[in-house]
Structure 1
Amino acid sequence: MRSIPLPIQRLIREFNKLPGIGSKTSERFVFHLLRQPTAEIEALARSLHELKDTIRLCSDCFTVSENDFCGICENPERSKQIICVVAEPKDVMAFEKTGTYSGVYHVLGGVIDHAHGTGPDQLRIKELLTRVASGGVTEIILATNPDMEGETTAAFIAKQLKDQSSIQITKIARGLPMGGNIEFADEITLGNAMSGRQNI
């Protein structure tokens, strides 16, 4: 690698840190950027800085937002009575693309994964229980991925809510294959999974 300029090597290493990006793809990214006008590179750099400087977590549901409260939580047309529980903000984006859900969300920040040291205390489960305890919630939709960790997380939350007899606890229907990932599902499959949710 001595023949390759250090700035190129460093940027390739940075791209390699992104999920699903290997060395060959990183190299293509870098050499593509080298061909772009300076203004394009500066725009990309500004966008990356803005990402860290302006994006925060919604104080209510913990999805990504530019303000203290996200546009979903602030929307008076969204039903605060229904909370869809998801693992990550990208899952919120996936469900929003379907256009079939009119409630609000609660982002856990991950799933229970003991193999990687993530237990219930590392997730925002207590915050969910606090939202439920504040009143007005009629349904909790458990929408974690249909894999071992997602199912374990959903079962744990359902157990925590078992004393809330006035609240309907549902899971999205299994249009998604076992081991599938919500963020990669198409809008029709996700929409059907949401509309066909089942009581648990």
Structure 2
Amino acid sequence: MSSTSDIQDLIDLMAKLPGLGPRSARRAVLHLIKKRGVLMTPLADAMGRVATTARECLNCGNVGTTDICDICSSEKRIGSQICVVEDVSDLWAMERANIFKGRYHVLGGTLSALDAIGPDELRIPKLLDRITSESVTEVILALSATIDGQTTAHYIADQLPNVTVTTLAQGVPVGGELDYLDDGTITAALNARRQL
């Protein structure tokens, strides 16, 4: 057995993380080894704790360490609004903006005929149950502007005849320059124009 096989195993595992390839993983592992007392050991301890305690919220699908996440259990959140997102990373992005004060629902992906992903493979039935049981008056569809994302948005909107359904605006990003935008983004921005 090689004297570096454990280190190579760690590099191989790190290389499987999003955004890290073999070279980046190698640099990260070498940095962790050099800082093993202040970085590697606490990181390993934290990863061990999260590996045993992390779970999906039974209500919305967010990730936390309790059966019901902090957002769902908070009495400060607006219970009549649900923002529907594809993945937990989208929920966290919305929370980073610190503007939405309602609750969320994580679908776990989008509808996709090619991948045989229908409504029952996603958390759409749970969403429909929540809308009824939680007296929701507005559903905000914060899904990606892809074909699958928009197909999913239209499917959900068709299932909700007695609820206000809104979607995020699409168009020119803050600080964006028209010369650098694609045709689809410019079209969406022009169609969603508003009076100043």
Query: TM class, shorter-chain normalised?
Result: 0.7 to 0.9
Equivalent residue number for residue 191 of structure 1: none
Following the alignment from structure 1 to structure 2, what is the Cα–Cα distance between the partners of residues 133 and 149? 25
Following the alignment from structure 1 to structure 2, what is the Cα–Cα distance between the partners of residues 29 and 94? 25
Equivalent residue number for residue 110 of structure 1: 109
TM-score normalised by length of structure 2? 0.81
Matched, 1:146 2:142: no
Following the alignment from structure 2 to structure 1, what is the Cα–Cα distance between the partners of residues 135 and 156? 18
Among all aligned residue pairs of Structure 1 and Structure 2, give the percentage whose two residues are the same amino acid: 39
Equivalent residue number for residue 15 of structure 2: 16
Equivalent residue number for residue 95 of structure 2: 96
Per-residue deviation, 1:110? 1.2
Alignment equivalent of 1:172, drawn from 168, 174, 180: 168
Could you list the per-position Cα deviations for residues 5-58 of structure 1 after superposition, in whole angstroms to 9, with x for gaps in the alignment?
A: 212221111011111211110110111122113453221111111122111111
Q: 1:100 to 1:133 in 2, by over 3 A?
A: same
Q: Which secondary structure does the structure 2 equivalent of 1:106 belong to? A: strand
Q: 1:170 to 1:43 in 2, by over 3 A?
A: same
Matched length: 174
Q: Which secondary structure does the structure 2 equivalent of 1:121 belong to? A: helix
1:146/1:176 contact within 8 Å kept: no
Kindly provide the amino acid, as one letter, of the partner of residue 174 in structure 1. Answer: Q
Kindly provide the amino acid, as one letter, of the partner of residue 107 in structure 2. Answer: L
Structure 2 gap ranges (5+) = 174-191
RMSD: 2.1
Equivalent residue number for residue 183 of structure 2: none
Following the alignment from structure 1 to structure 2, what is the Cα–Cα distance between the partners of residues 102 and 27? 41
Equivalent residue number for residue 188 of structure 1: none
Kindly provide the amino acid, as one letter, of the partner of residue 6 in structure 1. Answer: S
Q: Which secondary structure does the structure 2 equivalent of 1:116 belong to? A: coil
Per-residue deviation, 1:4? 7.8
Could you list the per-position Cα deviations for residues 142-199 of structure 1 after superposition, in whole angstroms to 9, with x for gaps in the alignment?
A: 00111122112111111222xx32x10111111477xxxxxxxxxxxxxxxxxx9xxx
Q: 1:141 to 1:39 in 2, by over 3 A?
A: same
1:112/1:150 contact within 8 Å kept: yes
